[in-house]
Structures are given as structure tokens and as C-alpha cells.
Structure 1
Amino acid sequence: MRAKVSCGGDGGMSKQVYTRQARSRMLILIIVDFLCMLLPYGFFLYRAEYVHGIRADALLVSYAILTACVYACRFVVKVYQQMVRFANAGSFLRMILADAAGALLYLLIDRLLLSYHLPITTVTSAAACGLLLVLLSRFIYQWLRKNSTLFNHAGTVSEPHVANKINVAIVGAGELGVLLARELMSNRNSRYHPYCFFDNDPRKIGSVVEGLRVYGPDNEAIALVASMPIQEIIIAIPDMTPAAQKSIFNRYKQTKAKVMLYDYPHNRLERTTDKRSIRDINIEDLLFRSSVALEDSRATEYYRDRVVMVTGAGGSIGSELCRQIAACNPKQLVMLDIYENGVYEVQQELRRHFPQLDLRTKIASVCDVERLEQVFDKYRPEILFHAAAHKHVPLMEHNCAEAIVNNVFGTWNTANAAEKFGVKRFVLVSTDKAVNPTNIMGATKRACEMIILSRSDSKTTDFVAVRFGNVLGSNGSVVPLFRRQIAEGGPVTITDRRVVRYFMTIPEASQLVLRTGSRAEKSEIFVLDMGEPVRILDLAENLISLSGFTPYVDMEIKEIGLRPGEKLYEELLCRTDLCTKTSDDRIFIEHAQTFTRAQVDQMLDEMRSGIAAHGQSDQAMRDMMMRLIPTYRMPEVVNATAEEAEEMRSSTSRTHIDMPAPAGIPS
């Protein structure tokens, strides 16, 4: 153990101060090494006296000089700073090089300064044998540390018996798997005991690595699990593609053992600050696409030292935007939301993780023009992310007027304030439900996009919208619902076994929104590549399996029918005939229809009149929106021809785990 302290003086030099325990450890190592070298050095020097007739007093001088040279070189390369129990091949190589350099240094002194000269073979033999005994002492100590209880200190927890640990098989006998095995074996308090490796490499199958047998290939190894005392299986293969990861998971799930993953935490923003750990496989790991890289230096630099505002900051996307913006070191971050509890939680989190951040939290409604302008006037944001919206589809079908007021007029008010107070960049967070909408929520978001498109003539603000699909784990999404139903013992309810959706994780969606915010284009609709569509039925089956149950055996899956405004599929966002690819592989620009301010003003006037006259009638609101939004259609019309849609045809069971034929759902 050592501590570093800075010392004043010229150049601000620093030195290392070692604790008493560290000095004692190094002294013991030096003494042990001296004893190990004593016998071979003495033997070969005595042989030199007997064979070559060199005097004994001269040999003692040579012995002292050779020992000093070896120790000096070891200190130069810091051999004794390394704790023996954690020494690896690099540490041992440094010792070998140090001893070789020490022997050469002695020979140089011998030839230049001494009146007598030891034979080169004598010096190299003594140094080599002394080194072998020192290395042997290190190996014996490491073996004892790993396999004996002799080194348990009084007052510490003794090593649990293997019988009390969980026997695990490690998939992957490469560097990462071996590293995991070493970590588990060296940690006495680990709850896992590595039992064997599984690997497909024919060079490794049948061999022993770190004392563990390597079995394979996968199909044979899976059959062996039933005869082994294995309770859990840990996948330890680095940089797997999503397809490979799902394939391995599906294979080993057949063993009925719990399958875990040795990987970085999911949804991490920077790998460099995280450590690999054994964790459950999440549904996010089984999305059939490569995850979005969550580090973008250009976007980070764009938001540095700027005043950024996020509306709807307490929501799923808004809160994640705030987290990622905070990591960009903005000049000031203003969080605006009407729901105090959600934004309060985000505020407390950001204060813990970013204590130097200039964070301002304002409770306000985007429907309150006067209050909105007060906030804009006070903080003068340079960049604005508008994420405030009602987004729950079935709920908004029964609250149509409120959806229009909050989503459409809230966006209108915020856009007006942005122009009035000189916001440089306005980013609307939209949804794939705005594409040929079949519900009031999607229709209102399409109206919001029309507002953005009509602002191409703005001289103060660049307006853009970014459109993406469903976000895994967001408030009101299907994944938290499924997890809650599984925790309650089921059944897991799906609306229709044919339903397909595009999915993205919250950090991925937020990062891509930030990237679009940093781009130069204006009055455009950006669409995000969501990958392949996923069947909701597959998602439910996977979540049940990841929870340790067997679908249709331990947990029922029940169809309850489509909800109001719901269609069987969402539109493919990145169609090549409708979009232009940007320099970012995951971001496209839609060939959108343009609108003038006059057209949008007329649309909004009709909405105001309609709400004033028929705001209490949801059907009247739908009829009005269907007239004002030409692409808005009833879900029954769209669902009638859903099987012919490209999105339905391209959806595959790539996230599906082979299960018994469902009892309650026809195949």
C-alpha cells in the first residue's frame, strides 16, 4: 500500500511515501530473494575458487558486487513495488530483464575495475539459478494464496466453502473468460465458483485453462450441462454482435440454467468509467441491431459552454437528454416541466453527479404563454429541446382536446418564445406515430412537425424535428408493463400477436437527438434508423424467459385486443425513396412536404374554433384532426391491409426464443 503526496519546491516535484506495511512487505521480499540467491551464488563462486584458484576474500567481494548489481537493477524497474499475489507475466519479465542487466553490469565492473576476472559462465550460471529460485518462491506463494487458508488474517471473513457457492460455467475460454475465472477464484467472498469453460475453438477443447477443463463445441457442451453441478452460465465473450449474443443466449437457455453476461453495465455513456461485471441479460441486449455509440466528441463540443433548455425534463427522454447534456459541460442547463416530482428526481440526480453544473429547474406549463416567456427572458437559452408532450396513445384517445392543446399549442407557444428571445436551435422530439397517424396523439405530433416545417424563414432560430420509434423502458411503454405483470405472476397481456414495433433504448434515442441538435440543417425532419422491427409477442416471450420462467408453461401470455387508436405496425422511418442519408449512419433527413406560416396559422385557428365549439366530444376532435391532417386515418382502415405492409413482411422472429407451441395463442 502506498500514498502519493505532492511536495512543494522547484518544479512542483512529487514523491511517493510508502506506509509502514508497504515497507515491511518490500523488506521481506528483499530478504527472501537474498536467501534464494545465496545458495546458487555461493555454489558457483565456491566452484570458481576450486576450479580457477581465485582467493576466498576476492570471491566475497565479487559476491557482494554481483548481489548489489542485481538488486540495483531490480529497484530501477520497480520489481519490489509489485505485490506478489497480483504479479503477472509482465512483472516476472521485468525481473528477468533486471537480473540479466545486473549480470551484465557486474561483468562490466569485473572487466574494468577488478584485478581478477570471474568466468562469464560462472556469472551467468549464478544469476540464472538465483533468478529461478526467486521466481519459484513467487509461484509457490501465489499458489498458496489461491489454494490455502493460511493467509486469512484474523478478524477477516474466511473463505466460504465451495459447496456454499454457485457453480458456474464460463462461455469463452479467451482472455476475457480467463480474466473472469481468475477474478472469481481469487475473491474469497465471491458467490460464484468457476467449474469449467465452454468454447468452440478446437485448439482449446479438452485442454485445461487456469485449472478448469474446457468443453465444446456448444452443442456437445449443452448436452453435458445436465450431468454437471452447474447452476448458472456466464457468457464472457468480448465485442459480440447482437446476432451472436442472441444466438449464444438462445443455445444455452436450453440448459434451463440461468444465463448471465460478463459485460459493461447496459446503457453506459462512457466505457472508460465503467467496469465489467456479471449481470443479467437485459431485453436491450437482445435487440437485433448494433447499439448506438454513446460517445460523440463533436456533439459534446457543440453543447459546451452554452445555455441549454429542455422542456418536459422530468420525462423519460427529457431526463436522459438532461443527463447527457450535463456531461457536455454546458454553461447552464435549464429544466422545465409541469410535473414537479419527475423533474425533482432528475434535479437531485444531476446535483449528485455534476456538482459544478449550473442547473436551474423551473415548474411551468408550455401552455402558459406568459410564464413561458418569463423563463425564456430570464435565462435566454441558446439551444432548446422540446420534449414536453402527452404521449400515451389510448389515454389521449379519450382526452383529445387536451392532447391538441398541450401538444400542438404547447409546441406553438414554445416555438414563438424561442424566436422572440433569440434561441439559436430548436429541436422538437417527435415520434414515428406522426407518420400516417391512426390516433390523436400521432396526429398532434404531425401538427407539431408542420409548425417546425413552416419556420424555414426564421431569421433567429433554426427549427428541426427528430422522429424515432418506441423507447424501451420509458414511462408508459410496454416493457415496464410486462415486467410488472411477470412480477405479479402473470398473465402477460399483449394486444395482438401480430403487432410489430421499432425499439431503441432511452440513452440511444437521447444521444441521437443530441446529434441532430448539433447539425447545421434547418427546418428539416430528421428520422433515426431504428433497425429491424420486433414482434411484441417475441418481446413478451423473451422477458418471461429472462425472468427465469418458461412462456406458456410457467407464465401465460394473453391477447386482449388492440387498444383505441392502435395499429398493428408503425411506419418504416428510413425508406430510401423518402429519405436522404446524412454523414451520420443512423440519421436521415425526410423529403418532407413544406408548409407556410399562413397555412399553419389557418390550421391552428380552426383547431381553436373546433375546441371552443366541440372540445368535449372526442369524436368531433378526431373528425376535425382528420380534416386538418390529411394523412390521419382510422386504425381499422390501416389494420385491414396491414399484412401487405413492408414493415409486417420484414419483421422476423430474430429476438425469438424457441418455445413449446403456445396453448392460448394460435400459431
Structure 2
Amino acid sequence: MSYQKRVLSLIVIDSLIVFTSVYICCFILFPGFIMPAVKQLVLISTTLLLSHHIFAYKYKMYQRAWEYASVSEMVTVLKAVTFSIITAAIIQLIIGQHVYFRILTTTWMMHMFLIGGSRFSWRIYKDKHFSEKTKVKKRTLIIGAGSAGILVARQLKHSNGELIPLAFIDDDKQKQHLEILGLPVLGGLNMLKDAVKDLKIENIIIAIPSLNKRELHNIYEECSKTMVNTQMMPMFEDLVTGKVSVSEIRNVEPGDLLGRMPVELDTNSISKFITNSVVLVTGAGGSIGSEICRQVSQFKPSKLILLGHGENSIYTIEMELKSSLCNNIEIVTEIADITDRDKIFSIMNEYRPRVVFHAAAHKHVPLMERNPEEAIKNNVIGTKNVAEAAGENYVETFVMISTDKAVNPTSVMGATKRIAEMIVQELNQKSNTRFVAVRFGNVLGSRGSVIPLFKNQISKGGPITVTHPDMTRYFMTIPEASRLVLQAGARAEGGEIFVLDMGEPVKIVDLAKNLIRLSGYSEDEIEITYSGIRPGEKLFEEILNQNEAKDYQVHPKIFVGKPVNLESTKITDLLETYSYLDRETLKGILLYMTNQSTENIKVVV
């Protein structure tokens, strides 16, 4: 029904109700047909009709979506009817007519019943239609009966999505055993398993956006015991800013279950560091590089240069940034290989950036074990090219992305990243540019991380492959990692290795089990198999070796490791000879170099 037809229908219905209710009330009040004169009845009806439409317009009774009517709509009907009756009585007094209070009082009740009933019949029809649809929708339980939970329930009840809410769970005893929007609040979290079983729940939504990580972890642990798919309501700030709608219920991600609060950094120092500066990001199309670009763009640099080797990934982040920034920042794209020294020097000389974030690298451990010469070419020579170009072109701050695998490396990838750290530390001693490195743990959701692999394996019905039951890793989210990079640049004095306090390491097998439960399966349905430790992998990772003790902190969650030195001639010799060596010899030299250097330092210390 169109808007015009809808309004016209309501006006006609209300007019009929106003006219007929007066006469109905007269028959009720005067059963012997001793009624007021017809002239007086017409006057009462006319004044009521006029005043009703005036107040119906004032309270927008013809503009409301009555299929979603609730208490506020009932209050609107009460106000409009009451004020229309009072106005009709005043008009009759003004023109000197007798006021029939009994008729007006009874008419008021009749109006409330008939006008309210005509409106709420739309809601009754909608709810009846809704109850019929529950048979084909996923039966959903909402954890949290606060404002957020009610918002989700209302949205789901009146949407055409695949979820239908049946009940709430809430630890607030004042809400328990009550009904909200027609849905019962069954009890606290201790009632979760029984509720899922009794109501045959197929989906759980956690609708408490204010939860911290530890509280969310505890609630999720209870949800995981039910083996039911669990999702989360978006954050309130995302709803308010329009990034997402209430209907965009998201799956619980492993990042929600780190068991610690995400690191929040000093935005003031970062703003001073980046705002109105020319910033260049290498590897800008990768998981970390693209997120660094998003974070940097929030601080309004004068120009942001996206440098990468893959045209598709650079195009994607360019389009995303241009769409979100509305052309407020100049975005420049450069397709280049960091091993092309002449091209890198040319780009650096053309744009003269104040800040360089170097995220381009080969990061996949098993692949680099099989291709050590490519790891050297990209991670060592590429870093050397970008860093030296930055130094020669008076870049103020150069931030290199490193890894915890560079600590006591057992892999080619880790060894080449350690050598890259040494290169920027040495350049820091020779150049006016401030060179620093930032070490990450495993980044949840990044390309090459275990999360996409596990999700893909689950979608195929398993099994999930884990290398070893005791393997542990430090984890952080992509936004955390990117903020750390920005903070490192803002606090850099030169030569530091910045490390994030990532809490306790997590067992990979526990992560796999959590993902299985998150997806609504049990370990009986999705098998976990062990493939054995791959070449170059460790059972556990470290963030600093014993010679790189925590020197000082620049933030409650960020500390600085003491830089270590290495004779530059060793790196020069490696770069001059690596292309002539077979792969196994090359791997041996890399691991000997990076681990032997710490032994030499141990003697010096």
C-alpha cells in the first residue's frame, strides 16, 4: 500500500470511528432512546471530528509505522484522543451549549478502544505473520536483555533475515522471568545449556557491546559448551557512525577471544608525527600494509604513497581509501619491486617522504625454507634498498616491520628478517634518519595466518591440521599491529626494536578447537590431526632473546629491546656470494650468521 493510500485509509477509519462512537455511546447511556437532540449530537460529533484530526496531525498518527507499534505509540493514541475530547468540550462551552460529560467520557473510552484497536491490529497481524515464519527461520537466543539486546530482537523480529529470536538470557535478576517484546528472559548464563536444549536453539547472539575481552571470553566459553553457532552484535560506535546496521550480526572472531584488552595507543603523539606529512608505505596492498594505510589516513597526512608489487592489491586499497576519505588526502600509487634499487631510489627522490613504513616482505616460513635465495633478495636486499634510499633522501623516520621469528631464528624467514633488523640498526648509526624495527607476533586474520586455513578446512568438513599439540604462538589483531607501527614511529629515537606485550602465548590446538565451536560444530564432527613440525618452525616463539633484555617502556604495553650489533662485513659477504651457493648451504649460513652474532655479543657483554 502506498503512503498516500495508507494515510487516506487511516483518515477515513478515524472519521467513521469518531462519528459512530458518539451514537453508540448514546445508545449505551440512554437505553430508553431519551437522547440529546440531533442538533446537539451533530455538534458533538463535528467538534470531536475536527479536534481529533487536529491532534492526530500534531502527534503524527498518520505517519507512524503501526505494524511496529509499542508502548510509545499507545501513549500517542492516549494523548491525541484525550486532547481531542477536552478540546470538543471547550468548544461546546465557548458556543454556549450544554456539555454532555457522560457522553464525552464514554466516547473517550470508545475512541481509545476503537482507534487504538484499529492501529494495533496492524501489529497483531505482523506478529501473527512473524510467528508463522519462525517455522522456517533459525531459532535464536539473545544473550543480554539490555538496550542492545532489545534493539537486536526488534530488528530480527521485523526483518526478512534468516534468524528469529525466541528468548533472552541475562544475569540481571530484575529482568529474569519477565517478557520483553513478547520474548521471555529465561534466567542467567547458568540457564544457557537448558535454554538451548528446551527451545531447540540453532543460533546464539551476544548482544552486550560493552563487554571487555575477558568477560566476552567467559561468556563464549559457556556458549561453546552448547555446540551452537555463536555471533555478536556490532559495536555501538559502528552503529551510530553508520558503518554497520543492527542486522549485520557478525560471527565471533578469534580476536575477540585473546583474553586481554586490545592495546590503545597515544594518538596525540601519532598525530603530531603524521599530520600534514608525506608518508610512504611499502607492501601497501598486504594485510598489515593496507591496515597501516587505513590507520595513517585517519591522521590526515598531506600525501600517502602506496607502494607495492601486486597491482590488484594496490588498486583495491587505493579505491577503498579514496572512497572513505572523500578526496581529503592525496593518494599516490606506485607499482614497484623493492629489489629494483634504481626504481626505489627514484620514487624516494621524487616524493621525499617524511615517514616510511616498510611492510613489504616474504613472510611464509615453509615457502622461504624452500626458496632461501628469494628470502634474501626480498627481505634483506629489498629492505637495504628502501632503507638506504630513505637515508639518502632525508627521510625523518623509517619503521621496519619485523617478526618474533627473528629472535634466535630457526627458519630462513626469521634469519633474513633478523639480518634486515641489523641493517637498519647499522644505518641508524650512520644516517640522520631515525631507523627502528617493530616485532610482531602472529597476526590474526592476516594472509598466511592459520585462521583462514582453519576456516577453509572447517568449511570442507575437516580435518583441521595442526603441526604439534604443544605448539604455541603470540597473537595480536591486525589493527593492534598497525597501531603499534604508528606508535613506534612517533616514539622513535633511532635504533630501537619495539615489542608489544602480547600477554600469554596461545596453543594453536586450542585456537583450532575454539574455531570449531565458533562454527557450530563439535570436535567429533571436525577432526583435528597432527602433521608434525615443518622445516624452520619452533614449538614456541620469543619476542626478545636473552641479550635483548627489556631496556625501557614507551607505553604500558610497549617496551624497547636493547639493540645488538653485527659486523657489517658479514652481511656484505653474504650479499656478494648468496647467488652462487646451493640452497642447503645458504640456509646453514643464514642460521649460523644470525645465531652466531648473539654468541659473539654475549662474550663482549
Which residue is 1:273 aligned to?
243
Which residue is 1:33 aligned to?
14
Which residue of the other structure, out of 388, 399, 403, is the alignment partner of 1:427?
Answer: 399
Give the residue type in structure 1 aligned to 2:234. Y
Q: 1:221 to 1:362 in 2, by over 3 A?
A: closer
Q: Give unpaired runs (5+ residues) of structure 2.
A: none
Q: 1:180 to 1:609 in 2, by over 3 A?
A: closer
Give the residue type in structure 1 aligned to 2:127. K
Which residue of the other structure, out of 272, 283, 287, is the alignment partner of 1:316?
Answer: 287
CA contact (8 A) 1:401 1:615 kept: no
Which residue is 1:82 aligned to?
64
The reply to whether residue 506 of structure 1 matches residue 478 of structure 2 is yes
Which residue is 1:664 aligned to?
none
Give the root-mean-square deviation of aligned CA atoms.
4.4
Which residue is 1:649 aligned to?
none
Which residue of the other structure, out of 256, 259, 276, is the alignment partner of 2:229?
Answer: 259
Q: Which has the higher contact order (CA 8 A, sep 6+)?
A: 2
Instruction: Give 1:502 shift.
Output: 1.1
Instruction: Give 1:501 shift.
Output: 0.9
- Whole-Å Cα distance in 1 between the matches of residues 375 and 358 of structure 2? 16
Which residue is 1:241 aligned to?
212
The reply to whether residue 146 of structure 1 matches residue 117 of structure 2 is no
Instruction: Give 1:306 shift.
Output: 4.3
CA contact (8 A) 1:610 1:624 kept: no
Q: 1:134 to 1:505 in 2, by over 3 A?
A: same
Which residue of the other structure, out of 497, 509, 512, is the alignment partner of 1:540?
Answer: 512
Which residues in structure 2 correspond to 1:174-189 (within 5 Å)?
Answer: 174-187=146-159, 189=160
Give aligned-pair identity as a percent.
Answer: 36
Which residue of the other structure, out of 466, 474, 480, is the alignment partner of 1:494?
Answer: 466
Which residue is 1:12 aligned to?
none
Scaled by the length of structure 2, the TM-score of the pair is: 0.81
Q: 1:355 to 1:41 in 2, by over 3 A?
A: same
Q: 1:388 to 1:92 in 2, by over 3 A?
A: same
Q: 1:163 to 1:607 in 2, by over 3 A?
A: same
Q: 1:220 to 1:114 in 2, by over 3 A?
A: same
- Whole-Å Cα distance in 2 between the matches of residues 124 and 301 of structure 1? 70
Which residue is 1:7 aligned to?
none
Larger proportion of helix = 2
Which residues in structure 2 correspond to 1:260-659 (within 5 Å)?
Answer: 260-264=230-234, 272-276=242-246, 277-291=248-262, 303=274, 306-326=277-297, 330-347=301-318, 350=321, 356=327, 358-454=330-426, 461-519=433-491, 523-551=495-523, 553-571=524-542, 578=550, 580-582=552-554, 586=557, 588-593=558-563, 601-602=568-569, 604-608=571-575, 611=578, 617-618=585-586, 619-630=588-599
CA contact (8 A) 1:299 1:515 kept: yes
- Whole-Å Cα distance in 1 between the matches of residues 570 and 536 of structure 2? 22
CA contact (8 A) 1:366 1:413 kept: yes
CA contact (8 A) 1:313 1:337 kept: yes
CA contact (8 A) 1:311 1:387 kept: yes
Please give the per-residue CA displacement for 1:572-624, whole angstroms capped at 9, x wherever unaligned. 579998254445x54x13152376xxx77555434445647757522123223
Give the residue type in structure 1 aligned to 2:572. D
Instruction: Give 1:74 shift.
Output: 4.0
Please give the per-residue CA displacement for 1:228-249, whole angstroms capped at 9, x wherever unaligned. 4443444434433333333333
- Whole-Å Cα distance in 2 between the matches of residues 117 and 520 of structure 1? 88
CA contact (8 A) 1:452 1:463 kept: yes
Please give the per-residue CA displacement for 1:478-500, whole angstroms capped at 9, x wherever unaligned. 22333344445544332322221
3-state SS of the aligned residue for 1:215? coil
Q: 1:67 to 1:45 in 2, by over 3 A?
A: farther
- Whole-Å Cα distance in 1 between the matches of residues 201 and 372 of structure 2? 55
Give the residue type in structure 2 aligned to 1:316. S
Please give the per-residue CA displacement for 1:257-303, whole angstroms capped at 9, x wherever unaligned. x3221422999899641123344333333322234579969857965
CA contact (8 A) 1:428 1:465 kept: yes
Q: Mean Cα displacement is larger for which, 32-41 or 140-149?
A: 32-41
Q: 1:570 to 1:626 in 2, by over 3 A?
A: closer
Q: Give unpaired runs (5+ residues) of structure 1.
A: 2-20, 150-158, 634-667
Give the residue type in structure 2 aligned to 1:248. I
Scaled by the length of structure 1, the TM-score of the pair is: 0.74
Instruction: Give 1:160 shift.
Output: 6.9
Q: 1:220 to 1:35 in 2, by over 3 A?
A: same
Give the residue type in structure 1 aligned to 2:64. Q
